[in-house]
Chain A
Amino acid sequence: MLRQNPNPHIRVFAIWEPILPTDYARPGTAVLARLSDARVAQYWDKDHLFAGQLGRKLESDASHPQPKCCTQRGIQWDEVAVYGSDARWDGELPRAVFLNGPVVRAGDFAGAVTALLTSTDHVGTGARISESTRE
Protein backbone atom coordinates (compact mmCIF):
# COMPACT_ATOMS: atom_id res chain seq x y z
CA MET A 1 0.00 0.00 0.00
CA LEU A 2 2.76 2.46 0.94
CA ARG A 3 4.76 1.55 -2.15
CA GLN A 4 1.78 2.36 -4.33
CA ASN A 5 0.84 5.52 -2.50
CA PRO A 6 3.62 8.08 -1.87
CA ASN A 7 1.25 10.51 -0.17
CA PRO A 8 3.05 11.98 2.87
CA HIS A 9 -0.21 12.27 4.78
CA ILE A 10 -0.23 8.58 5.64
CA ARG A 11 1.29 7.41 8.90
CA VAL A 12 1.63 3.78 9.80
CA PHE A 13 2.03 2.47 13.33
CA ALA A 14 3.23 -1.10 13.13
CA ILE A 15 2.68 -2.89 16.41
CA TRP A 16 4.44 -6.23 16.73
CA GLU A 17 3.13 -8.51 19.45
CA PRO A 18 3.98 -12.03 20.55
CA ILE A 19 1.25 -14.37 19.38
CA LEU A 20 2.92 -17.49 18.08
CA PRO A 21 5.20 -19.69 20.21
CA THR A 22 8.13 -18.54 18.07
CA ASP A 23 7.53 -14.88 19.00
CA TYR A 24 9.78 -15.08 22.03
CA ALA A 25 11.77 -11.92 21.38
CA ARG A 26 11.54 -8.43 19.95
CA PRO A 27 11.46 -8.38 16.16
CA GLY A 28 14.88 -8.51 14.58
CA THR A 29 16.32 -6.30 11.88
CA ALA A 30 15.13 -8.57 9.07
CA VAL A 31 11.57 -8.50 10.38
CA LEU A 32 11.57 -4.73 10.87
CA ALA A 33 12.93 -4.30 7.34
CA ARG A 34 9.66 -5.69 5.94
CA LEU A 35 8.24 -2.22 6.60
CA SER A 36 10.98 -0.03 5.20
CA ASP A 37 9.00 3.13 4.47
CA ALA A 38 9.92 6.27 6.43
CA ARG A 39 6.23 6.90 7.18
CA VAL A 40 6.23 3.87 9.47
CA ALA A 41 6.91 3.81 13.21
CA GLN A 42 7.41 0.39 14.75
CA TYR A 43 6.61 -0.82 18.25
CA TRP A 44 7.10 -4.02 20.21
CA ASP A 45 4.05 -4.63 22.38
CA LYS A 46 5.01 -7.61 24.51
CA ASP A 47 2.07 -7.19 26.87
CA HIS A 48 -0.57 -6.61 24.17
CA LEU A 49 -1.38 -3.18 25.53
CA PHE A 50 -2.69 -1.81 22.25
CA ALA A 51 -4.61 -4.97 21.45
CA GLY A 52 -6.22 -4.70 24.88
CA GLN A 53 -7.31 -1.13 24.20
CA LEU A 54 -8.69 -2.15 20.83
CA GLY A 55 -10.53 -5.11 22.34
CA ARG A 56 -12.12 -2.87 24.97
CA LYS A 57 -13.14 -0.39 22.28
CA LEU A 58 -14.80 -3.15 20.26
CA GLU A 59 -16.70 -4.31 23.32
CA SER A 60 -17.84 -0.86 24.39
CA ASP A 61 -18.75 0.55 20.99
CA ALA A 62 -21.23 -1.64 19.20
CA SER A 63 -21.15 0.55 16.08
CA HIS A 64 -17.37 0.26 15.74
CA PRO A 65 -16.32 -1.68 12.63
CA GLN A 66 -15.88 -5.29 13.70
CA PRO A 67 -13.09 -7.41 12.19
CA LYS A 68 -14.07 -10.62 10.45
CA CYS A 69 -11.21 -12.32 12.24
CA CYS A 70 -8.67 -12.29 14.20
CA THR A 71 -8.18 -13.10 17.83
CA GLN A 72 -5.79 -15.50 19.49
CA ARG A 73 -6.54 -16.37 23.11
CA GLY A 74 -8.75 -13.28 23.18
CA ILE A 75 -6.01 -11.00 21.83
CA GLN A 76 -6.60 -8.87 18.74
CA TRP A 77 -3.88 -9.42 16.14
CA ASP A 78 -3.20 -9.61 12.40
CA GLU A 79 -5.51 -6.68 11.80
CA VAL A 80 -5.39 -3.31 10.09
CA ALA A 81 -7.17 -0.30 11.54
CA VAL A 82 -7.52 2.95 9.61
CA TYR A 83 -8.21 6.24 11.37
CA GLY A 84 -9.28 9.51 9.81
CA SER A 85 -7.21 12.65 9.99
CA ASP A 86 -9.44 14.10 12.70
CA ALA A 87 -9.30 11.06 14.97
CA ARG A 88 -7.97 11.82 18.41
CA TRP A 89 -6.97 9.25 21.02
CA ASP A 90 -7.80 10.53 24.47
CA GLY A 91 -9.23 8.30 27.17
CA GLU A 92 -10.07 5.48 24.82
CA LEU A 93 -9.17 4.67 21.26
CA PRO A 94 -11.09 6.64 18.67
CA ARG A 95 -13.41 4.84 16.32
CA ALA A 96 -11.61 3.39 13.32
CA VAL A 97 -13.02 4.00 9.87
CA PHE A 98 -11.87 0.55 8.82
CA LEU A 99 -10.86 -2.51 10.80
CA ASN A 100 -10.25 -5.95 9.42
CA GLY A 101 -7.82 -8.78 8.98
CA PRO A 102 -5.91 -10.84 8.31
CA VAL A 103 -3.47 -8.21 7.12
CA VAL A 104 -2.50 -10.03 3.92
CA ARG A 105 -6.15 -10.27 2.87
CA ALA A 106 -7.27 -6.86 4.08
CA GLY A 107 -6.41 -5.21 0.79
CA ASP A 108 -9.56 -3.12 0.92
CA PHE A 109 -7.97 -1.02 3.67
CA ALA A 110 -6.03 0.73 0.91
CA GLY A 111 -9.39 1.86 -0.48
CA ALA A 112 -10.33 3.25 2.92
CA VAL A 113 -7.04 5.15 3.08
CA THR A 114 -7.53 6.62 -0.39
CA ALA A 115 -11.10 7.63 0.41
CA LEU A 116 -9.94 9.42 3.57
CA LEU A 117 -7.13 11.18 1.72
CA THR A 118 -9.62 12.32 -0.89
CA SER A 119 -12.07 13.58 1.69
CA THR A 120 -9.36 15.58 3.45
CA ASP A 121 -7.98 17.01 0.22
CA HIS A 122 -4.67 15.22 0.69
CA VAL A 123 -4.76 13.51 -2.68
CA GLY A 124 -2.17 14.67 -5.16
CA THR A 125 0.24 15.94 -2.57
CA GLY A 126 2.53 12.97 -2.98
CA ALA A 127 5.02 14.99 -4.95
CA ARG A 128 5.36 17.42 -2.09
CA ILE A 129 6.83 15.11 0.46
CA SER A 130 8.83 17.20 2.83
CA GLU A 131 10.83 16.45 5.89
CA SER A 132 8.55 18.66 7.94
CA THR A 133 5.66 16.30 7.41
CA ARG A 134 7.70 13.46 8.85
CA GLU A 135 8.64 15.02 12.14
Chain B
Amino acid sequence: MTRRLRSLLIVGAVVGAVALLAFARHLYVGGVVPAGQPALVSLRAENFDQLRMAFNAAAGDVRVVVLLSPT
Protein backbone atom coordinates (compact mmCIF):
# COMPACT_ATOMS: atom_id res chain seq x y z
CA MET B 1 0.00 0.00 0.00
CA THR B 2 1.46 3.29 -0.99
CA ARG B 3 1.76 6.18 1.41
CA ARG B 4 -0.69 8.19 -0.67
CA LEU B 5 -3.35 5.44 -0.54
CA ARG B 6 -2.86 5.03 3.20
CA SER B 7 -3.36 8.79 3.69
CA LEU B 8 -6.51 8.69 1.61
CA LEU B 9 -7.87 5.79 3.67
CA ILE B 10 -7.17 7.61 6.93
CA VAL B 11 -8.83 10.80 5.70
CA GLY B 12 -11.80 8.77 4.46
CA ALA B 13 -12.13 6.98 7.79
CA VAL B 14 -12.04 10.26 9.72
CA VAL B 15 -14.61 11.88 7.45
CA GLY B 16 -16.83 8.79 7.72
CA ALA B 17 -16.57 8.77 11.51
CA VAL B 18 -17.46 12.45 11.71
CA ALA B 19 -20.42 11.91 9.38
CA LEU B 20 -21.60 8.95 11.47
CA LEU B 21 -21.35 10.98 14.67
CA ALA B 22 -23.25 13.85 13.09
CA PHE B 23 -25.96 11.46 11.88
CA ALA B 24 -26.22 9.81 15.30
CA ARG B 25 -26.49 13.23 16.93
CA HIS B 26 -29.21 14.17 14.46
CA LEU B 27 -31.08 10.95 15.25
CA TYR B 28 -30.89 10.98 19.00
CA VAL B 29 -30.18 14.50 20.20
CA GLY B 30 -32.27 16.57 17.83
CA GLY B 31 -32.12 20.25 17.23
CA VAL B 32 -31.97 23.29 19.43
CA VAL B 33 -35.07 25.41 19.85
CA PRO B 34 -34.97 29.16 19.22
CA ALA B 35 -34.02 31.48 22.06
CA GLY B 36 -36.71 32.05 24.67
CA GLN B 37 -38.42 28.71 24.20
CA PRO B 38 -38.29 25.77 26.60
CA ALA B 39 -36.11 22.89 25.43
CA LEU B 40 -37.57 20.41 22.96
CA VAL B 41 -39.31 17.61 24.84
CA SER B 42 -39.43 14.09 23.44
CA LEU B 43 -42.78 12.76 24.50
CA ARG B 44 -43.08 9.22 25.78
CA ALA B 45 -45.82 7.49 27.72
CA GLU B 46 -43.84 8.14 30.93
CA ASN B 47 -43.53 11.89 30.46
CA PHE B 48 -46.61 12.65 28.38
CA ASP B 49 -48.10 14.31 31.44
CA GLN B 50 -45.56 17.12 30.95
CA LEU B 51 -47.52 18.27 27.94
CA ARG B 52 -50.83 18.09 29.77
CA MET B 53 -49.41 20.04 32.71
CA ALA B 54 -47.91 22.70 30.44
CA PHE B 55 -51.27 23.00 28.69
CA ASN B 56 -53.09 23.46 31.99
CA ALA B 57 -50.43 25.81 33.35
CA ALA B 58 -51.25 28.16 30.49
CA ALA B 59 -54.92 28.33 31.48
CA GLY B 60 -56.12 31.87 31.07
CA ASP B 61 -54.40 32.09 27.71
CA VAL B 62 -55.67 31.00 24.34
CA ARG B 63 -53.86 27.80 23.45
CA VAL B 64 -53.06 26.64 19.98
CA VAL B 65 -51.89 23.09 19.35
CA VAL B 66 -50.30 22.44 15.97
CA LEU B 67 -49.61 18.93 14.69
CA LEU B 68 -46.74 18.94 12.23
CA SER B 69 -44.40 16.67 10.36
CA PRO B 70 -40.72 17.71 10.35
CA THR B 71 -40.28 17.18 6.64
Say yes or no for A59: interface residue by CB 8 A criterion: no
Task: Quote the shortest CB–CB distance from B1 to chain A (angstroms).
Answer: 37
Total B residues in contact with A, Cβ cutoff 8 Å: 39
Query: Chain A contacts of B38 at CB under 8 A?
Result: 41
Residues of A1-22 whose CB lies within 8 A of B: 1, 8-20, 22
B31 contacts A28, C-beta separation under 8 Å: yes
- Residues A50 and B43 in contact in the complex (CB < 8 Å), given A42-B37, A87-B59: yes
Total A residues in contact with B, Cβ cutoff 8 Å: 67
Query: Chain B contacts of A66 at CB under 8 A?
Result: none
Separation of A103 and B58 alpha carbons in the complex (Å): 22
Main DSSP-derived SS at the B contact region: loop
Most A-side CB within 10 Å, residue of B55, B62, B63: B62
B61 contacts A10, C-beta separation under 8 Å: yes
B64 contacts A12, C-beta separation under 8 Å: yes
Task: Quote the shortest CB–CB distance from A94 to chain B (angstroms).
Answer: 9
Query: Chain A contacts of B66 at CB under 8 A?
Result: 12-15, 79-81, 103
- Residue in B30, B31, B35, B61 whose CB lies within 8 Å of A85: B61
Residue contacts A-B, CB under 8 angstroms, 10 given = A14-B68, A22-B70, A26-B29, A38-B34, A44-B41, A49-B44, A78-B67, A79-B66, A85-B59, A96-B65
B residues engaging A (CB < 8 A)? 26-38, 40-45, 48, 51-52, 54-56, 58-71
